[in-house]
Amino acid sequence: MSSLDLLFEDDEEKELFKLIEVGRGKKENVSSASKLLPAIKTIYAFKGKDFTFRILEDDNLSNLFSDRHCLFLPKYLVQFLKDLYAQEKYSNHLEPWFSPASMSILLDLGKTTAISNNKGEIEQLKKIITNHLLEIVNTDVIDFLNTTNTAFDLITSLSPLGVKTRNDNVIQSSDLSTQIIIKSCKLLSHDGTAVFLVTNSFFANKSRNEKLLNEDGIFIDAIFALSEKTFTSISIPTNLIIFRRKSIDKIFLTELTDNQDKNQVILTNYFERKNDLSNIFYIRPNSYSGIENHHIKLQIEKLETQYKVFSQFTFRDLILDLHLISSDRSIVENKNSIFIQRNQIIPFKAYEKLDHSLERWLQIILNEKVLSDYIYLFFQSDLGKLILKSVHKKNLTLTPLSIEELKEIPVAIPTLEEQKNIINIQEKLRNLKNTIEDFEQELALNPTTSYEVLTQLDSISEVLGTATDADKMYSLIRTGESKILEFKQTLSMDIVNLRKEVYIEDSAFKTIVAFLNTDGGKLLVGVTDSGSISGIDEEIRLLHKNSQDDFLLYYRNVLKNRIGEAFYPLIKEHIILCEKKKVLMIECSPSEEPCFLKSKDKNNNLDETFYARSPASSEKLTGKNLTEYVRNHKRFTR
C-alpha cells in the first residue's frame, strides 16, 4: 500500500495531491502531504464534501497530521463566506495574500487579482484552476499595495496571523497582516467591501489600528467572532471583520458557530440590521477588544442593573499609586493596597500573603473609592476570575502585562458602605466555616449538643438558601443565554394580547426537550431576552386566578401530556422571588433516552418532534440528521 493510500480514501484527493506535489517535482511522500492538508481540506469544504483524511492508528506519523499543523477553513466558515459574498455583485476583487487555503472561495468571485510571491506554487495552481478571470500576480504584497492605483469593489484576505515583516514608517507595525489590512483598505472603492481575518491584538492600544483606518475613511461595519476551536493550530481568538467606506453609529457584532442554519439567520440579520438572536449585539466604534471582553462588559452592566449599589470602573479610576517592586523601590506602607504578580495577575491583599520573591511584583495603592479587601474578594468571584482570564488571553505575547493594560481592567464596585458589609459577611462566613470544621472533628464525642446544633444549622441553612437562590439566578442571568441556559418571558401568555398562545408554550417546552436530549440546562421563565426580570406574576394573575399553585399544576399537566412522566426525575422546578417578582426556574438533567415533544397536527393526529440544543437555541432534528444525532450520542444507544 502506498503512502497515498494511507492518506486518502478518495481518488479525487489522490489526484489533487499528485497535481500539486508531483507538479512541483516532489515525490509522493507523507511529509509533503502534510503541507497540503490545509488546501485540500478547504477545497473539499468548498465542494460541500467532508474531507476523508485518515491515518492508521498505529502510524508513527499521526502527530504530523494533527490539526495543529494544518491551518484550514472549516466547512461552516467556507459556506458563511460564500453566502456573504453572494449578497452583492462585484466588478473586481483583490486577494492580497493568495494561498491554497483561500483558493476555493475565490473561484466564484469573478475577476480577481491575487498576489503571491511563491512562483512555484503559482505555476501549479494555474494547472488546477480553470477560472480565466483569476489573475495571480507574482510580487511582494507590500510593494504591490504601495504602487497600484486600482480601486477594488471587494478585498478579502486570510493573511498570516502574527507573521513579522519590515517596519512601516506610517503604520509602525511589524505585523504583516495588519499592514496588509491597512494598506489594502486604501484601495477600496466607494461602495466596496473588505473582509479580513484578525486576532484580538488588532484592536489593542486603544483601537489604534481602527482609528488609523477611520482617518482614511474606512470603518468597521461588522465583527464576526470565531470560536477558538476554528483554527486549532493557533488557539487564539480570531474574528472576521467587514470594512466599508461608510461611517456608522453602531457596529454589528456576533459569534459564528458550526450551525450553518443559524449562521444564515445571522447573515440575514446583518444585512437587515436586526437582532433577532440573543447573541447579536450593536456596539460603539472603537470599543471592541474581543468577544469575551464584550461578555464581561455585559455582565458588569447587568450587575449595575440588578444591584443598584454597583458602578462600573476601570482600575485606572481606582489607583492612587502604582509601582513595580524592585531592589530600587521597596514596598510602601499602606494598608489599602493589593499586590499583583504581572505574569500571573493574581491579586494578594497583604504583604504577609506573598511567599515568593518580590521582584516583578506590583504594589497598587487604592484610592478612597474602594477597599483593598473588597477588590481581593471581587477577583475571587466567578466574574472576577473571568476578567483575569480574559486579560491573560488579550495579552497574547509571553511578556508581562503592561501597566497600561492593567489600568484598563474593568471592575464592578458597590458603595463603600456595601463594600464594608460584604467584607464583614465574608469574615463571618470564614469564622463560621472554621467553627463547623472544628465541630465536625468533635461531633462523635459531643452527642449531647447535637440536637441544639442541628436546630441552629437548619435556621442558618434556611436563611442562606433564601439569599442564595436569588443571587444564583442573578449570576446565571449575567452570563447570558447559552447552550445550557435560556430565558423566556412567560410560560404560555402572549404579553401583547394577554392571552394564552400555543406557540409560546411550544417554545418553552421544546427548550426543556432540547435540554434533556443534549447536556441538560436551565430555563428561566419570567426573564426577558435582555436579562431583565419581568416575572410571571401577571401570567399567574390573569391566566391562573392569581394562584401560584394553579400555575404550577398547569405546568406539570402540560409536562405530563407533552413530554411524559418517565422524564420527571430529570426535571426540577421551583419559583424564586427576585426583585419582588416571581421567576420559574426549570432545571433539566441529560436523559439517557431520546425525548420527544408531543403535539397535535391540524387533523388532530399525534405528532412527536425531537429537539436538541445548539449554542443558545433549540434545533428541530428529523430524518437523517436525527438518526446521526442519536447514533453519535452513545448514551442513547446503550
103 is a domain residue: yes
User: What pLDDT does residue 23 have?
Assistant: 40
546: domain CATH number is 3.30.950
Among 383, 416, 449, give the residue marking a domain's end.
416
The reply to whether 437 falls in a domain is: no
Q: What pLDDT sits at residue 220?
A: 95
Q: Determine, yes or no, domain membership for 466.
A: no
- Are residues 529 and 487 located together in one domain of the fold? yes
Residue numbers of the chain with a pLDDT score lower than 50:
1-8, 19-35, 42-71, 166-173, 395-398
| 473 part of a folded domain | no
pTM of the model: 0.62
Instruction: Supply the CATH number for residue 111's domain.
Output: 3.40.50.150
pLDDT of 270 reads 93
65 with 81, same domain?
A: no
Distance (Å) of CA 69 to CA 14, 62, 65, 414, 576: 20, 11, 6, 48, 50
Query: What is the three-class DSSP state of 230?
Result: coil
322 and 275 share one domain? no
| Residue-level pLDDT at 464 | 65
Nearest to 595 by CA among 585, 584, 608, 604: 608
Co-location of 303 and 265 in the same domain: no
Give yes or no: residues 22 and 138 share one domain.
Answer: no
3-state helix, strand, coil in the chain (%, to 5): 45, 20, 35
Residues 202 and 322 in one domain: no
User: First vs last Cα of the chain: how many Å apart?
Assistant: 37
Residues in the chain: 638
Quick one: pLDDT at residue 172?
43
Q: Using the 8-state DSSP alphabet, how is residue 356 labeled?
A: S
- pLDDT tens string 70-89: 345 677 887 888 888 888 88
Q: How many helices (H) and strands (E) does the chain have?
A: 21, 22
**Distance of alpha carbon 372 from alpha carbon 384, whole angstroms:** 14
Closest CA to 364 of 314, 398, 399, 412: 314
Burial label for 30, CB within 10 Å (0-12, 13-18, 19+), is middle
Task: Judge if 159 and 262 occupy the same domain.
Answer: yes
Helix (H) or strand (E) holding 523: strand 521-525
- Look at residue 184 and tell me if it is in a domain: yes
Could you tell me if 257 and 319 lie in one domain?
Answer: no
Cα Rg of the chain (Å, integer):
29
Amino acid at 353: K
Domain count for the chain, please give it. Answer: 4
Contacting residues for 397 by C-beta, under 8 A, at least 6 apart: none
The reply to whether 422 falls in a domain is no
In this structure, the answer to whether residues 339 and 370 fall within a common structural domain is yes
In a domain, 633, yes or no: yes
Helical (H) or strand (E) element with 468: helix 450-479
Domain with residue 347: its CATH number is 3.90.220
Q: Which residues pair with 140 in a beta bridge?
A: none
Alpha carbon of 104 to those of 157, 180, 534: distances in Å? 13, 21, 49
CA dist list (Å): 546 to 274, 540, 552, 610, 637: 37, 5, 12, 34, 45
Same domain, 492 and 622: yes
In this structure, are strands 337-341 and 361-366 parallel, antiparallel, or unpaired?
Answer: antiparallel
The predicted pLDDT at position 185 comes to: 93
Residue at a domain's end among 289, 313, 336: 289
Please give the residue range of the domain that contains residue 54.
3-69
pLDDT of residue 4: 45
Q: Are residues 131 and 246 in the same domain?
A: yes
Q: Give the single-character DSSP code of 159.
A: P
Does 268 share its domain with 299? no
Query: Would you state the pLDDT for residue 67?
Result: 37
Let me know if residue 254 belongs to a domain. Answer: yes
User: Strands 281-283 and 238-244, how do they pair?
Assistant: unpaired
- Indicate the residue among 11, 44, 69 that finishes a domain: 69
